[in-house]
Structure 1
Amino acid sequence: MNPALNERLTAVATHADTLGRGDKSAYLKQQAAELGMSLATLYRKLEAVAVKPSRKRRSDAGRSELSLDEAKLISSALMEAMRRNGKRLMAVRQAVEMLRANGKIEAARIDEETGEVLPLSESTIIRALREYRLHPDQLLQPDPMNRMKSEHPNHCWQIDPSLCVLYYLPRQGKDTGLRVMKEEEFYKNKPKNVVKIEQDRVWRYTGTDHASGAIVARYYFGGETSANLCDFFIYMMQAKEDIGKDPFRGVPRMVMLDPGSANTSAAFKNLCKSLDVHVQINKPGNPRAKGQVEKGNDIVETAFESGLRFTEVADIDQLNAMAERWMRYYNGTQIHSRHGLTRYQAWNRIKAEQLVLPPPAEYCRELALSAPKEAKVSSDLEIRFGGRYYSVKDIRGVLVGQKLLVAKNPWETDGARVATYDADGNEIWQAVPQIEFDEMGFRADAAVIGAEYKGRIDTVAQQHAKELDKLAMGADTLEEAAAKRKGKAVPFNGEIDPYKHQEDTLAARNTLYLPKQGTQMEYNRMEVAEQVLSKVEMAKLLKPRIEAAGGDWKQAVRMLQTAYPQGIEASRLDEAFDKLMNAGRLKIHRTGSL
């Protein structure tokens, strides 16, 4: 419809609203004839231009029958029953049944028309969890991310190795060219075929400069190793064959990598430390921290590797030569959307004081040392590394049986260092002291038997175990907890019965068998404290009594909600019954002869 027709239709609709039924029909027929369309078409077009009143918002919109405290309990139970991999083991219905049976929640409402106590449906509870932002789907969403920037080119580099799944070098006979890894030969159900060419598979190392977005790619055999990482990092820093076309070079201020074993190796770390390069090891499970190099990998795959299918490559050196040519082309011609320049144009804005030239490649390789190894923490809080023993008791959060990444300490003869992480995920290497032994093979700092005693500081796990022991036994001290365990005390004072809802359900729905008479076994019940009945519980107990007495339950429930908004003690239930029965507005009907 054009604007003129819209204006005419709006005028027709406005005038039609002022007419009665008979006049309105005749008027619309006349207008349809003038506009050259059928009456049905006119009605349809008027419907499109008519301004419809907005739907009235419900008076109870935004409110939920489920309280916030009960929603938190349900959500907490769902999260506690979840596996560490995020798989949910307990359904909302099951959690609600368990908590109801244990008296932790009511999750019910009172029908204002009938006064009945009705449990909230599962869909209502799920909707309430979402309104309170307590649903597991909402709680498990990733944390918001912050955008990061670099101050200048070579401020920060990102490096990420990736298996080149499309091509490999078979090295069979005279055929040394790259070939497609065929799906029917190497798919996941044929791992033996993959093992055969494991050392021939090509790995791609990709690096990016965070400020300019410049991409560097190089291919290696042997997988994700410390040697390959060091060689690639040295290649990135060194001047290329023609710096007029390929200017990228220099030592970065920092480099970001994932926490792989090669990335945390002593060789790479020592190389970076010698060059005063800060190494940022990202926390596990945080791929967004280096999203730029992830995108760089994708660009290399689509813009460069896709063309390898149409050519022959003799060896890995030729492949790298082709990759260098592609880098000069792509970084030098393709415009980056963030800064509006080619990547090399943006990188070339680096200032002289920001461009730190590295030592020669061979000297850089000499700076790299051996790779670190994993060492298991013994019960004495010791590790063995390089044929020597080191104490790790001062390592924060260390646990017996834990595996630590250990490397040589270049500043101490026969010294060792252990890799730890700070609160921000930065890797920190902490020196650990070597343990000295006497001529009899005993630790030099060990306590003399029968003469002295040296206590040991508890590990974090031991501290937690003691706290949990006191929590389960409801004790203030370990001695009190031990005494209760010796007395066969039930954990958590017996307040939690995870199977009580099953017993209640079976008792309520077991209608397949005829009831049998039996003799009730006598037992004692002890009340710890007087029970306070909520409005819902009062309604459950008073409704049958008032109706049996001929009372009007609808009027009674209104008075109940007004007089006892916070509930009442169980001992005062009869008092509440009398008050409702004797109320002036309560109609009582009694039957019987006078």
Structure 2
Amino acid sequence: MDPRRAVIVTRYLDKLDATPHGEKQAVIDAACAELGVSRGTFNTLARKIRGRKNKKRTPPEGKASATAAGVSALTLEEAKLIMTYIMETYRKNGKRRAVPLDEAVSVLRDNGEIIAGRVDPETGEIFRLSISQIRKAMRAYHLHPDQMRNPAPANGLNTPHPNHMWQIDASVCVLYYLNDGGAVVEEIDEAVHYKNKPHNLEAIASWRVIRYVLTDHTTNLTRWRYYRHSESGEHVVEFLCWAMAPKPDPGIDPFEGRPEHLYVDPGIGNNRLVQTFCRRLGIELRSHKPRRARATGSVENGQLRVELRFESGLKFQRHTIKSFDDLNALAQTYQLRYNSDPTKTVGRHGMTRMDAWMHIREEHLVRTQPMDVLLSLATKDPKTPKISDAMRIEFQGRTYSVVGVPGAYPRGKVTVHWHPFLECAMALVEDAEGRETLIELEDVTGTVDPANEQWGFHTDTARYGQEYKSRPDTEVDTLRKEITLLASNSATQEEDEKKRRRKDFVPFDGRIDPCKAAKEAEPPIRIKKHAVDLMLTAPGLELIPLNHIQAAKLLKGRMGDAWTAEHFADLQRRYPKGVPEADIESLLEEFQGGKAPAQKPVLKVVK
């Protein structure tokens, strides 16, 4: 400060201290006139001389002071409780809170949760703090809603070279949409097309313009293109292929190559088509956590730049844009100029975005195939349908032939992808080194023999009595024939069949004995274990005895011609009710031993 001014300001400050309240304005006006400054400038000079005065104001009677003896009348616990109540009423999108501060304080006071005031120690009277005093106290505690909604501290990223990491983000173009037929670019009327009128949004849903923006993190080079309708994995892959593929005129547009890393939001990162595509190209795909858009701040800022710098001027060229091709051609022209504009250098490295990207080294520039070849790598989630005996599969409601697919065989399974860009089903085959090959499958849905169309037979069937058709051998068929020849030790199928027709045919010429190990093994000798006997009482067994004819047949069959009528008579006498089967052996031994049958005693009458 000028020393002369400092002396004048000090003199008038001394006068102000001695001047009673109500007469200070005249002193300030005199000081401003002498210094030739406004009242605000005088106050600034006064603060520099002696600083801001910290005189405490005495609150009017009936009102509580925000502070008492240097301590806020609103306690920290009460401030936390008020902020907690407010935070719990935030909408899920976090854009606004649903309850104002005065309502939150009123509800918590009514429920006895807070006092938010000062209690007179002599009378016990409660003097409530005003809402403005509560607001000031919450700011002093750093608990004001505006403070609590501030983002947490962020730590930036750095990348070592161009094409190390790209960021991609999609956004609905809220300014314009291509109307039906793509005649002209139309500006969206926010009074008509907004979320509270969903029927109006649905009416233009098929006309919406989706903007995809890419930034190279190291150089901040920004590329973008437009697609129709809605966000999808197909659009992401197509945009990425366009960015990576060599451009028609590399002298004007040299940007190309495969990035090492791709950092996206969860909507893109969780798409299986994008995941499969990045895996096949060796790109490490990562996505940040939901509601953490700051993590991809480079591309978020790129979205803002495109909207403010490029799309803001579309209104003036609306009649020259007839289609998406026209829109993308105009965007291509603009972004080439923007990335090379010497007036729009990046402060971090001091170069234009394209000049900075041109510093990429040979080992970091991985040149890809043309765009159509890249698109052929993009397939959706694989399915593994079962193969029928006719070498066909059912996939997405259609029938496809898998004849000629390596590794396919009846009742086996094959991995099939749907290719969204070629619009066909493709079988995925891996060789021994893990390299993938995609084979387009023939759609045979509804293909019938034109000569017998009435009955719906497929064209690859053989007409009975007129022709013969057979399927080409599958890999399993070839192996089956090889192991058949190996088992019979034959060189041809004819020799194998001839050997197998012989009754004495033995596989492997009898060289293999399945029981060889068991025959040659010497079983170990084991000591008999002591045990406790199981005491059982067997039930009595009574069998139905043989009648005399049955017993005679058994004995005669064993004795032959030695059987006589006397033997039969003896049976009848000894066993009048039948012969027990257990006695047959003893009778046989008796009769064959030469013992004559016992004679029946003769009863005589004694007089």
TM-score, structure 1 as length reference:
0.50
TM-score, structure 2 as length reference:
0.49
Higher RCO structure (Cα 8 Å, ≥6 apart):
1
